Amino acid sequence: MKPRIVLYNPKSNLTGKRILPMSVLALAAVLEGRYEYSFVDGNVSQEPLKLIRDQIRQGANVVAVTVMPGPQLSQAFPHCRMLKDEFPEVMVVWGGYFPTLHASACLKSPAVDYVVQGHGELVFLELLDRLERDGDWRTLPGIAYRDSGGTVIENPLASIPHPEDLPAYPYHRIDMTQYVRSTFLGSRTLPHHSSYGCPFLCNFCAVVNMVNGRWLAQSAARVAKLAEMYVERWQVNALEFHDNNFFTQEARIAEFAERISPLGLNWWGEARIDTLLKFSENTWRSMQAPGLKAVYMGAEAASARTLQCIDKGGSLTPQKTLEIAAKLRQYGILPEFSFMVGSPPDPEADASATLEFIRRIKKVNPVSEIIIYFYTPVPRPGRMYDAAVADGFSFPDTLEEWVSPNWMEFVSRRHARGPWLEDDLRSRIRNFERVLNAYYPTSTDQRLTGFRRGLLRAAGAWRYHTRAYGFPLELRILQRLMHYQRPETTGF
């Protein structure tokens, strides 16, 4: 079989954002010059299934799909099921976050033939090579498949490829202008992914299952060179880094910041609080705007005990969250703090402490963005996951159940339900968030200026100061009338 591939990026968000499909671009980079391929992006096309069908009729025989839980899964599964019904000879390969963690559920469906687990660029290429020459693909690390009896086989993960050794994305194969967006960071923003993994072992994070504490990165020189190309070709003035932990190595960040300083770019990335607090003042000055405009950090909880329970690391404490809030205020950099509330074994106490702690952060740095999630387990044994299982939690066994409304809500982490989380507590948390976001409107909503921002603050003030969070009907009405956004969750 001579593979001809359709690289399919299902719709990844409900907001209509056209986000550069870096996962399929990474696959395309290793296919370039080896195999024929084409792109179908569900964030751009209104009829992605029709485009895939057209490609198959023109000779494509492999559909490679990147799948995250949520909107991508809800589009990937029905589309692949229809394609396999119509073109049973076409090979469907899933890769990405969701199939890596839930390969068995994926392969119980005839809609999926193979799963590539972990970082799959070289694994996918080798799978195609072996299929083309009728080689033994069953021994290939990093794949999962059904044997002749229908049993799901998951091979060990493959080695993580070093990003510095992988080829650049084939930007010339797509219309990059459609992915340049206006954001809080700048009027012409593009993303990049410069590293793999994270050196920490937080037990609620699925990245650990993929890399087990490894972190590999492109050099500062290579990332700076890409930034220069973005500016020259597409007049970009802002960069989002979608790395799991962009700030892992201070020397790399300092060099990168120095190299791109002449470009006048704003940029954003994700970081560990305790890592940033170790940076020297020289590094902080080199990152200052124009430069680092905002940084996303997992504060997670208000107590050292909870942080230990989630294996966040002994060096991270609530006090350090307050310290980094003050540090970022000093340098004029916007902090984004995410919190995971309502965690077992005592969700009531966890939530109450966390909501009060958020108020302390706002006193230290009022512009801090606060993003509140509900705890959702990942399939990794540990105190948090074991407690959830003990409360009766279990993952779905089939894709049909995964795309049901209840599970689609669960994976959003915004409205997640779990046997440990009572409806009343979940409502109280959401009401607090509504009051918080009125009294402290997000800085990232470019529509909120002047009168609108003042109206929101006035409407939320009495509730915030008196802690009267219950039944904020007037704020619900304002939300419908003004459509102000909550703080963003991944980039801007």
The pLDDT of residue 65 is 98
> Do 145 and 264 sit in the same domain of this protein?
no
- Six-digit token pair at 112? 């999926």
Which among 377, 392, 421 is the end of a domain? 421
The pLDDT of residue 228 is 98
> Do 286 and 139 sit in the same domain of this protein?
no
Q: What is the largest CA-CA distance in the chain?
A: 71
Instruction: Give the residue with greater pLDDT, 16 vs 34.
Output: 34
List of long-range contacts for 153-162, beta carbons under 8 Å, 24+ apart? 154/103, 154/104, 154/117, 155/117, 157/117, 157/118, 157/210, 158/118, 158/119, 158/120, 158/122, 158/123, 160/118, 160/119, 160/196, 160/197, 160/211, 160/214, 160/216, 161/119, 161/121, 161/122, 161/196, 162/216
> Do 90 and 238 sit in the same domain of this protein?
no
| Whole-angstrom distance, CA of residue 371 vs CA of residue 486 | 8
Which among 421, 438, 465 is the end of a domain? 421
pLDDT tens digits for range 454-484 = 999 999 999 999 999 999 999 999 888 887 7
> Do 119 and 195 sit in the same domain of this protein?
no
In a domain, 84, yes or no: yes
> Do 83 and 227 sit in the same domain of this protein?
no
Domain count, the chain: 2
Instruction: Give the residue with greater pLDDT, 410 vs 183.
Output: 183
> Do 268 and 330 sit in the same domain of this protein?
yes
> Do 191 and 309 sit in the same domain of this protein?
yes
In a domain, 440, yes or no: no
The pLDDT of residue 483 is 75
> Do 126 and 188 sit in the same domain of this protein?
no
Cross-strand partners of 152: 146
pLDDT tens digits for range 216-269 = 999 999 999 999 999 999 999 999 999 999 999 999 999 999 999 999 999 999
> Do 271 and 381 sit in the same domain of this protein?
yes
Which among 363, 391, 421 is the end of a domain? 421
Which residue range is the domain that position 197 belongs to?
180-421
In a domain, 128, yes or no: yes
pLDDT tens digits for range 95-146 = 999 999 999 999 999 999 999 999 999 999 999 999 999 889 999 999 999 9
- Residues 36-41: what's their mean pLDDT? 98
> Do 235 and 359 sit in the same domain of this protein?
yes
Full DSSP string of 198-251: -S---TT-THHHHHTT-EEE--HHHHHHHHHHHHHHH---EEEE--SSTTS-HH
In a domain, 428, yes or no: no
> What CATH code is carried by the domain that includes residue 28?
3.40.50.2300
In the predicted model, is pLDDT for residue 35 greater than 50?
Answer: yes
pLDDT, the chain, mean: 91
> Do 187 and 40 sit in the same domain of this protein?
no
Q: What confidence category does residue 188 fall into, taking pLDDT thresholds of 50, 70 and 90?
A: very high
In a domain, 442, yes or no: no
Q: Which of 268-282, 323-337, 365-379 has the lowest mean pLDDT?
A: 365-379
> What CATH code is carried by the domain that includes residue 416?
3.80.30.20
pTM exceeding the 0.85 threshold for the entire prediction = yes
In a domain, 263, yes or no: yes
In a domain, 245, yes or no: yes
In the predicted model, is pLDDT for residue 413 greater than 80?
Answer: no
> Do 331 and 261 sit in the same domain of this protein?
yes
In a domain, 37, yes or no: yes
Q: What confidence category does residue 490 fall into, taking pLDDT thresholds of 50, 70 and 90?
A: very low
- Residues 311-326: what's their mean pLDDT? 88
The pLDDT of residue 491 is 47
Percent of the chain with pLDDT over 70: 95
